[in-house]
Amino acid sequence: MTFNNMEDPKQIRLDRMRYTKNILSSRLVYLAILFDVLYFVSVYESDVGNWYYSALIGISIVYNLVFMLVSFLSSEGVKNYKMGYGWVLGALGIGQIVRIFILPMMAHTALTKRSDPVLKKVLEVPVMEDGQFIFAVVCLVLSALCCLAAGGIALVRSRKLLAYHAALAAVK
Amino acid sequence: MANISLQHLDKIYDNKVQAVFDFNLEVKDGEFIVLVGPSGCGKSTTLRMVAGLEDISAGRLLLDGKDITTAPAKDRDMAMVFQNYALYGHMTVYENMAFSLTLRKEDPNVIHKKVLAAAEILGLTDQLNKKPKQLSGGQRQRVAMGRAIVRNPKVFLFDEPLSNLDAKLRGATRREILLLHKRMHATMLYVTHDQTEALTLADRIVCMSMGRVQQVGTPLELYDTPANLFVASFIGLPPMNFFNVNIANGKAVNQYFSVALTEKERELLAGYEGKEVTLGVRPEDVDEGGDISVCVYSNENLGMNTLVHGRLNNAHAADAAITCKLRGWCDYKAGDTVKVQFVKRHFFDRETTNAIR
């Protein structure tokens, strides 16, 4: 198989993968991290009594750190067409979806007492109000989509590249 | 097609130091021109003026008849290869070679084909995924050349590209550059202080000293008929021997020897009868036999030749030193006397230092 007589654009694109990195997947993972950061800086509200003082918050914080670390490592992995990291990103994406039903949902359904300076009385309000909840959910969904897309693209491309390498080796 | 015309180029720096004086050169399409000279002679400055990296203080620079004297470097369609490679350390060989085309937003598939073609020419196909630090000096220089090739420029400019390489690599890379030129038929300007590079690579050599062009000609012309003392002393290894001689009665005479002039030399030196001129003899033009007496003080065997360093008539004056490149394997000891003759001689005017022709 000689490369100088390659005329098919698809074939050239495939051959290019041997020398270029999977930047698209890598950038999508960075985007996923960005949405995760937006999520966790938006999730905390100061005036919610003692609702946040639980193990759940601690776990949430630790998970955020783990998510960022693993997804960053995965971005480097998928950049170099390492197939395993595609699966890792898939799992992280599913994890982001699952998270919607843990902290944001629980905070959205839980009530807390908050004094209203205008009405001058104490009201029972959701820990996470609608606007904040929607924003948090959107961030997590986008982060999940980015992870899943990055993982999916990485898997497809890695498989293609692997098959191409095998074909080249067979020709040689 | 790329003809370059350098017309009366001067370079004067802000501190009023003039680096290049009235440089004139016509470079034909596909020609390999080597600018050679000692450090500080203005050869790199001239190249940088052509590249657009230095402003031209005076004169005109034409590329295919179009005046590009003040054109910015990016619009000149020239690619330059530097001594220190100037590769991006964080990029792979492929990315380094593709970089300039990526900046121009060329189609990635076209870039890919160009990079692979250049890599094949340079024998870098197996190195494309490596980073520069994983390559040898010669390979790095080839990557730098590849980066120039993919741009398909009108003119290639090389600024001492082999200076950072060891002797073996330098020889190999020199041959690669020569092959590259033959393959691409591109116009190339090459700067070096190494006369071997100049003699082996050039179609024509421009020999420079102190910012001025001393001689322009083919390698053979510069070697065989040097225009002046500087060119004669700079081109050739070991350098030419020089002696002050008086021309009298058909002979060139000094306190160490007297050589009879040929008929042609007599005609040439007719105007110098009774005057002093400089006689130049290349070490390889000294043969055993004859009546000039050389007292040997060192003998270096090179295999096919022997370099004999000695003193004429065993004199200790500086002007009595002579180097002879004798054929074959000689085993002279220090203190031996060897009789030699000058097979080919060059004569230079003492005042102007120009060759007498």
Q: What residue numbers bound the domain in which A90 lies? A: 21-171
A121–B contact, CB cutoff 8 A: no
Region(s) of chain B under CATH 2.40.50.140: 241-349
Which strands form B66-67's sheet, in the order they lie side by side? B18-27, B4-12, B58-63, B66-67
Residue A53 has pLDDT above 90, yes or no: no
Residue A2 has pLDDT above 60, yes or no: no
B117·A20 Cβ contact <8 A:
no
Of B1, B27, B22, B3, give the one whose Cα is nearest residue B12: B22
Of B270, B235, B279, B207, give the one whose Cα is nearest residue B34: B207
Residue-level pLDDT at B326: 94
Interval B250-282: pLDDT, tens? 999 999 999 999 999 999 999 999 999 999 999
B94·A20 Cβ contact <8 A:
yes
B112–A contact, CB cutoff 8 A: yes
CA distances from B258 to B178, B243, B309, B313 (A): 44, 11, 20, 12
Q: Is residue A76 part of a domain?
A: yes
Q: Is residue A149 part of a domain?
A: yes
Q: Assess contact for B148 and B79: CB atoms under 8 A.
A: yes
B120–A contact, CB cutoff 8 A: yes
A4–B contact, CB cutoff 8 A: yes
Interface contacts A/B by beta carbons within 8 Å:
29
Q: Assess contact for B117 and A3: CB atoms under 8 A.
A: no
B109·A4 Cβ contact <8 A:
no
Q: How confident is the model at residue A46 (pLDDT cuts 50, 70, 90)?
A: low
For domain B4-234, give the CATH number.
Answer: 3.40.50.300
Point out which residues pair with A36 in neighbouring strands.
Answer: none
Q: Identify the helix (H) or strand (E) that includes residue B243.
A: strand B241-248
Chain A residues touching residue B129 (CB < 8 angstroms)? 18-19
Cβ-based neighbour number of residue A21 at 10 Å: 15
Q: Assess contact for B337 and B293: CB atoms under 8 A.
A: yes
Mean pLDDT along residues A118-138: 89
* CA B197/CA B240 separation, integer angstroms: 18
Q: Among all residues of chain B, which has the CA nearest to that of A80?
A: B129
Interval B131-150: pLDDT, tens? 999 999 889 999 999 999 99
Q: Is residue A117 part of a domain?
A: yes
Q: How confident is the model at residue A55 (pLDDT cuts 50, 70, 90)?
A: confident
Average pLDDT score, chain A? 90
The stretches in chain B having pLDDT less than 70 are: 1
B12–A contact, CB cutoff 8 A: no
Interval B220-258: pLDDT, tens? 999 999 999 999 999 999 999 999 999 999 999 999 999
A142 CA to chain B: closest CA distance, Å?
29
Residue A128 has pLDDT above 90, yes or no: no
Q: Assess contact for B332 and B318: CB atoms under 8 A.
A: no
Q: How confident is the model at residue A129 (pLDDT cuts 50, 70, 90)?
A: confident
pTM: 0.80
Q: Assess contact for A112 and A51: CB atoms under 8 A.
A: yes
Q: Is residue A26 part of a domain?
A: yes
Query: Which residue from A4, A18, A20 is facing B117, i.e. has the nearest CB?
Result: A4
Q: B139 in helix, strand or coil? A: helix
B126–A contact, CB cutoff 8 A: no
Residue-level pLDDT at A1: 45
Q: Is residue A32 part of a domain?
A: yes
Q: Is residue A5 part of a domain?
A: no
Q: Assess contact for B165 and B138: CB atoms under 8 A.
A: yes
Q: Is residue A7 part of a domain?
A: no
A19·B92 Cβ contact <8 A:
yes
Number of domains, chain A: 1
B113–A contact, CB cutoff 8 A: yes
B110 CA to chain A: closest CA distance, Å?
9
B120·A4 Cβ contact <8 A:
yes
* CA A30/CA A143 separation, integer angstroms: 9
Chain A residues touching residue B108 (CB < 8 angstroms)? 13, 16, 20
* CA B160/CA B156 separation, integer angstroms: 13
Whether the upstream peptide bond of residue B238 has omega within 30° of 0, thus cis, is yes
- Strands (E) across B249-333 are located at 251-253, 258-260, 276-281, 286-301, 305-312, 321-327
B113·A13 Cβ contact <8 A:
no
Region(s) of chain B under CATH 3.40.50.300: 4-234
R_g of chain A computed on alpha carbons: 22
Please list the helix, strand and coil fractions of chain B in percent, rounded to the nearest 5, in that order: 30, 35, 35
B117–A contact, CB cutoff 8 A: yes
R_g of chain B computed on alpha carbons: 24
Residue A6 has pLDDT above 90, yes or no: no
Backbone dihedral angles phi then psi of residue B171, each to the nearest 5 degrees: -65, -45
B129–A contact, CB cutoff 8 A: yes
B47–A contact, CB cutoff 8 A: no
Q: Among all residues of chain B, which has the CA nearest to that of A17?
A: B112
For domain B241-349, give the CATH number.
Answer: 2.40.50.140
Return the structure tokens found at A82.
């390492």
